[in-house]
Amino acid sequence: MSAEIKQEIKQEIKQLGYLAWVTINKESIDREELKQLLQQYGFLSYMPKPICAADAFRRTTAELEKKDVQLDDPNVIENYMVRNVANDRNTITRTLVVERVLKDKRDLVYSKAITFTYDKKDDKLTTEHDGSQKSIDIVNSVSAAFLISKNLHTGQTLRTVVNSILNDLCPIPVKHGGVYFVAKEKEQALKNIIELGNNLGVADYFELSGSDQNAGMISEKIEQHLANTISNVATVLKNNDRGLIGTSMLDIKQAMKVYNEYKNGLIKEEESIENKMSVLQQQLEALINKTDIEKAS
């Protein structure tokens, strides 16, 4: 047997997979830049939907809100609030309201500062205000920020994209804080995710040896992952939390995907695992029944 073959066998025995983590700390990214990154690392199919201009308008105007703004008069502070006035098929209207707190008089005074209206059809932003320089400066700032925001994906969207990519590798949660085990067969895809993650935040991975101890640890983590999913879904079913039904169904499907990925390898406690899979199937059917009942009602 050649030395090269021996080395390959040794590596096969030694390596079980990888421990990896990805932390996305980028707050926003231009849509075109994200597209180029995803294309570069082979994940273009995960490109999020185009940014909704109406959502960008809401985010931009919401950034005007401030609390406890100090004025020259120590007895007066101001709070800036943005309130929805109207929202229909064609337009969204939001108003910047100033709440003035008069400490010495123990009183509140409200005034309408600026009204922003976004025309969805014409993609146009219009405003109404008192004509003061302060109002003009705010309007100019919002207008410029809105133009940028219409082409920016938020950090939450980035985390959703990366999590979707990672989930397709059937990761096993190993430690709180986002540390996952990924099988060695997913090496190239994992490396690409790590490269992508380092463009959007911080990411790294290292090899996990194939010792009996490590294999047993990952097997336990798989069973724990299934158990946690069962517990979380049971809570949703018990509380009849309609807002989490969709998420729970996705969680069960991901757990089933993990089971199918590892059932012929790392899963050891077959009877215990099979019981959990049976419970998950029952829970999934219960969730589907709930959605059917809601649609019928």
Domain range summary for the chain, segments of one domain joined by +: 18-51+155-208, 53-150, 211-297
Q: What average pLDDT does the structure give for the chain?
A: 90
Residues contacting 148, CB < 8 A, separation 6+: none
Residue with tokens 């790590």: 194
How many CA atoms lie within 13 Å of 255's alpha carbon, on the beta-carbon side? 29
Supply the pLDDT for residue 42: 96
140 is written with which tokens?
């100019």
- Return the biggest CA–CA distance within the chain: 93
Which helix (H) or strand (E) covers residue 84, if one does?
A: strand 76-87
- Measured in whole angstroms, how far is the alpha carbon of residue 288 from the centre of its chain? 24
Q: Work out the average pLDDT over 206-226.
A: 89
Fold of 53-150: Double Stranded RNA Binding Domain (3.30.160)
How many CA atoms lie within 13 Å of 23's alpha carbon, on the beta-carbon side? 7
Residue with tokens 């932390």: 23
267 is written with which tokens?
């899963």
Residue with tokens 């729970």: 248
Please state, in angstroms and rounded to a whole number, the distance separating the CA atoms of residues 243 and 254: 19
Please state, in angstroms and rounded to a whole number, the distance separating the CA atoms of residues 141 and 185: 50
Residue-wise pLDDT for 1-58, tens only, equals 444 543 444 444 467 899 999 999 999 999 999 999 999 999 999 999 999 999 999 9
| Choice among 3-7, 171-175, 272-276 with the minimum mean pLDDT | 3-7
Name the residue type at position 141: S
Please, are residues 117 and 91 in contact by the beta-carbon 8 Å criterion?
Answer: yes
Supply the pLDDT for residue 163: 94
Q: Work out the average pLDDT over 170-196.
A: 92
pTM reported for the whole predicted model: 0.76
Please, are residues 38 and 196 in contact by the beta-carbon 8 Å criterion?
Answer: yes
